[in-house]
Amino acid sequence: MWENLQQEFYRFFVDNGASSWWINGVKTTILVTLLALVIGVILGGIVGMIRSIHQQTGKLKILNGISMVYLTIIRGTPSMIQILIFYSIVFASVSLNNIIIGGIAFGINSGAYVAEIIRSGIMSVDKGQTEAGRSLGLSSGQTMKMIILPQAVKNVLPALINEMIVLLKETAIIGYIGTVDITKAATLVQSRTYSAFVPLISAAVFYLVLVMLLTYFMGKVERRMRRSEH
């Protein structure tokens, strides 16, 4: 029995380059997710603040209009179509690594959802906090940076963690632009072994482990922020 298990393991995870597929697949998934997270948080934070400032003061009308167009297009079209557009149209004439293209595409996609999460967090902070900051002589920017944003981030952190988990799983479609991620590695092993069960279940386990690790680390961040609040 032990020998049979060893043979099956070798067949699905080592034989004919399977090990390199799995290793590269996990590495690609992690790299694309991290790059997309950075882009998504930065872009989403900027758009979210523009939207909230416009709602509160009526300023930044042009930037708010651009933000609304961005949110409408990104949230109204499938992420798979978006990544194909970036790969086949936007960066078609540029020699750019597929991991970077995927990270940019997923980051822009995630930014639209992060923006609304940030906006809702900022709007959830009582207006009295802003008035208190201004009465102390702080500028609008200082009030936003030092008083409003720290409270807003604490309020929306669970939603941000959920968005990160969704983003990690959404990267499974990057194989459509010829990049070997976890899902693509599973399909390659399946095509070689003519067996779907082990490769697909293995891919699911890999994603589950990554999600659990992300949830663990973000949970520690959330607990630390809650302790500092108390």
Q: What tens digit of pLDDT does each residue of 19-39 get? A: 899 999 999 999 999 999 999
| 134-180 pLDDT tens trace | 787 777 777 777 788 878 888 888 888 899 999 999 999 999 898 99
Classify residue 7: in a domain, yes or no: no
With beta carbons less than 8 A apart as the criterion, state whether 211 and 165 touch: yes
What does the pLDDT read at residue 139?
Answer: 76
Domain residues for the domain of 120 are 17-229
How many structural domains are present in the chain? 1
Classify residue 69: in a domain, yes or no: yes
Classify residue 42: in a domain, yes or no: yes
Nearest to 206 by CA among 158, 160, 168: 168
pTM (2 d.p.) = 0.87
CA of 130: how far to CAs of 10, 61, 81, 134, in Å?
A: 62, 21, 41, 6
pLDDT at residue 11 greater than cutoff 80: no
Classify residue 194: in a domain, yes or no: yes
Nearest to 110 by CA among 184, 50, 47: 47
What percent of the chain has pLDDT above 70? Answer: 93
CATH (domain of 50): 1.10.3720.10
pLDDT at residue 57 greater than cutoff 90: no
Helix then strand then coil, % of the chain, to nearest 5 = 90, 0, 10
Classify residue 11: in a domain, yes or no: no
CA of 199: how far to CAs of 10, 17, 145, in Å?
A: 12, 14, 47
